[in-house]
Structure 1
Amino acid sequence: MIHPTAIVDPKARLAEDVEVGPFSVIGPDVEIGAGSVIGPHVVVKGPTVLGERTRIFQFASVGEDCQDKKYAGEPTRLVMGDDNVIREGVTLHRGTVQDRGETTIGSRNLFMAYVHVGHDCVVGNDCILANQVTLAGHVTLGDAAIIGGLSAIHQFCHFGTQAMAGGGSIITKDTPAYVMINGNPAQPHGLNLVGLKRRGVSREAIKALTESYKMVYRKGLTVDQALAAIDAEYALPETKIFTDSIRVSTRGILR
């Protein structure tokens, strides 16, 4: 299962059925779960934990030291869940002690070619990052977020659950859950209605989210006024996710 040209450190912990391709390097303090396939010319550096059925394609670099100039060799981590796909040339960096000390990635995510995930990022589950998306350090992505190719997200930004960014977006503020954005600088363009329907969100919830979006973006209210109006009108899980994604904003939301 391990190609004879691959180098696997004795301190790495690989499940028995993990495949490692030609010329790949697996360093110490790396843990790889069952059913995983590491392609050729891949570097995985620890401390890093990869869940079950991880698939990594050629020339990816996973768990490397971060690019923060303050980093001084501290033993920070990268931790990933199950069923993630990491395509060609992807770079995923570990955390820094100045923040969480860990870059955390959930399960069932797709990182297309040449994606970069910087230090201390938190990526949820079921996200899709298209080719050459760049997440600066300290970025948080909610579940089922979709980022179009060649987009970049500024440090410390939050990108909400089921939000969607069109290709080439430059994102310097926080994006509320379910919102579609696009442009340089990115601007909101309504709700991700197609995504909501595909994920089986009820008509009642979609209607409530549509009205909630109007309160934030169309009725001339301040953010606080809009949140108060939404709370008074709706008590659905989806509207709470929407309002919570605005309340956690530290950089201000795209508006």
Structure 2
Amino acid sequence: MNLPMRESPQVQDGQFPSEPLVSVVVPMHNSAAHIVETIRSVLDQTHTNLEVIAVDDASSDATVAIVEGMADRRIKIVRMETNGGAGRARNAGIDAASGDYLALLDSDDRWYPDKLEQQLRFMDRTGSAVCYTRYDLIDAESEQIGQSGRLAASVTYEQLLRHCIIRTSSLLVDLRALAQPVHFPEIRKRQDFVFFLRLLKQVPKADLLDEVTCSYRLHSGTVSSNKFRVIPFQWNVYRTQEQLPLGKSVSLMIGWFFNAGFVNARRFAQWVESK
């Protein structure tokens, strides 16, 4: 499925437009299959004042060579000597960022062309410091298979604890609103959840731009993933990362398990229906 592309504003005399600089962090590990589509969706944004910080997490395939071949001066490649996981790679990208706004994009997801423009306008109009959006679901061949569905108009720290509704690739953060930098925990799973929680300890809430602005790629293994395998990682978030009381952690785990099961079942149904 090809997204409709708009003509981007022209850059005059080698200078970017006088608009906010957005730093886009893309962690990569053996991402050759989809990395061109992913990064191209950033470079083709109608908001052109951006930098792409592509962090290679010790890939063994042609990922880096492919990105180097894209030859756009807005791309900055950061190389990790050893594989440390997506959280560590994203942190390296955050540390290398120089923009007023931070966006994150997984290496197999993609954006709609006006994603950043829409969010920046929304945040300027509402004063929001953290913005998330709806998203669609695509398969390995980039064909649409479903939608995220309706999401809450805003979410606080306590609400997010119960159900993480934010998709990493939809996020935009005004870094100027943070009292101190926020980084991902260097854990292998659920690091994005902890990152969102850390953001919401510094700002009152995250706000929804009620538009589909990005595509989340589902692979067959993702659709049929076993939530039982994620239980220890979710428990680690509540007890170790957030250091919540035992009783509250148990209650949150029960709610999370049923929510996660419902979401997984809906995605599986959308996947089957699309085939």
Question: TM-score, with normalisation over the residues of structure 2?
Answer: 0.29
The structure with the largest helix share of the pair is: 2
The structure with the largest strand share of the pair is: 1
Task: Flag the structure with larger Rg.
Answer: 1
